[in-house]
Structure 1
Amino acid sequence: MSDSAEEAPSRIPWPPILYLIAVAVSAALSYAVPLPWLGPPLSDLLFAVGWLLVVATILMDIAAIRALRRANTTINPTKVADHLVTGGPYAFSRNPLYLGNTALMFAIGMIAGALWFFVFGILAAYLTQKLAIEPEERHLALRFGKRYRDYQKKVRRWF
């Protein structure tokens, strides 16, 4: 039997699956069962904020991926982490990529004027926490011990 610190946190890449399903269901429900949305000028403001959030999310995702690559560790949630990354966006969120996925759901909702993206963004975030983040945290605690536990005390899970 292998050492559990050498095992991947998950066999299934849950985050991309969950968020793709959330986008598809949100889009389908927004078309089939549209929920009320705010009128102008608030809807116009949210449209603009949504696009700003898209840009911010893309920049955060790029920074997070670069931090992982610089540390020569995996971005794949089904692989063993080689190094603990605590710099860049990881200095303010232990999960900036998952935070970015959720922010992108909210941004799409603001741009499209569709509340379903908020509902399923929250659901996808909850399921990501249960199916991906918590197993990853156990994996990192086993793999990096005190260094990871100290990092957990300093940096919040989401933001």
Structure 2
Amino acid sequence: MNAYRSKSLSFPWPPLIYSGAVLIALYLQRYDPLPLPFIWSIIAWAIGAILTAFAVMLNVWAVKTLVERRTTVLTQRCSTHLVTSGPFRFTRNPTYLGYTLLTAGLGLMIGNLWFVAMAAVAAALTTLLVIRCEEMHLLSRFGCEFEFYCKHTRRWF
């Protein structure tokens, strides 16, 4: 039996990856701050607020869609359905996109540009450690249907 068929991950990596990114950003800001001029900090706060609001709405919409389709929200459980509606029409990973935008948005709001850099690092690690395994799981479970979905929907945005 295919090892990816039963579940995609054995450990919930995304919360750990993004929490680690936040902690590293806080550490870097303390020892090597990246200051923003005052006028730019106001603009950064506004952009950060918009990103944060969008990220929260995107995550709520994604979880709501998964629950409505009666499939798992947790990465370490087996998917019962291939969800291609809701935010999954636009991106294959709306929750991870939401985590990334939330990390960057919060960083802009508090004036810590390291958050933005670490959001990019967290997105890259999520792709390598999580998304590739999840995609193998979905490919083994849903085959051609998942391949078709991948051809028509971007991984991130």
Q: What band does the TM-score fall into relative to the shorter chain?
A: over 0.9
- Provide closer, same or farther for how the CA distance between residues 31 and 64 of structure 1 changes in structure 2, counting only shifts above 3 A: same
Residue of structure 2 equivalent to 1:50? 48
Residue of structure 2 equivalent to 1:109? 107
Structure 1 unmatched ranges of 5 or more: none
Structure 2 counterpart of 1:128, one-letter code:
T
- Provide closer, same or farther for how the CA distance between residues 29 and 5 of structure 1 changes in structure 2, counting only shifts above 3 A: closer
**In 1, are the aligned partners of 2:107 and 2:114 still within 8 Å (CA)?**
yes
CA–CA distance in structure 2, aligned partners of residues 153 and 3 of structure 1: 23
Deviates more, 1:45-54 or 1:63-72: 45-54
Cα drift, residue 118 of structure 1: 1.4
CA–CA distance in structure 1, aligned partners of residues 30 and 106 of structure 2: 14
For the pair 1:85 / 2:51, whether they are aligned, the reply is no
Structure 2 counterpart of 1:75, one-letter code:
V
- Size of the alignment, in residue pairs? 157
CA–CA distance in structure 1, aligned partners of residues 22 and 4 of structure 2: 34
Deviates more, 1:59-68 or 1:109-118: 109-118
Cα drift, residue 36 of structure 1: 3.0
**In 2, are the aligned partners of 1:4 and 1:142 still within 8 Å (CA)?**
no
Cα drift, residue 5 of structure 1: 5.1
**In 2, are the aligned partners of 1:93 and 1:155 still within 8 Å (CA)?**
yes
SS class of match (2:38): coil
Question: TM-score with structure 1 length normalisation?
Answer: 0.94
**Identity percentage over the alignment?**
37
Structure 2 counterpart of 1:42, one-letter code:
W
Residue of structure 2 equivalent to 1:35? 34
For the pair 1:9 / 2:8, whether they are aligned, the reply is yes
CA–CA distance in structure 2, aligned partners of residues 5 and 146 of structure 1: 16
Q: Which whole-Å deviations, capped at 9, do the CAs of 1:61-103 have from their partners, x for residues lacking one?
A: 1100000001101111111101000011100000000001110
For the pair 1:25 / 2:27, whether they are aligned, the reply is no
Runs of 4+ in 1 over 6 A off after TM superposition: none
Residue of structure 2 equivalent to 1:151? 149
Question: TM-score with structure 2 length normalisation?
Answer: 0.95
CA–CA distance in structure 1, aligned partners of residues 131 and 48 of structure 2: 26
The within-5 A match list for 1:61-100 is: 61-100=59-98
Structure 2 unmatched ranges of 5 or more: none
CA–CA distance in structure 1, aligned partners of residues 113 and 46 of structure 2: 16
CA–CA distance in structure 2, aligned partners of residues 45 and 123 of structure 1: 24
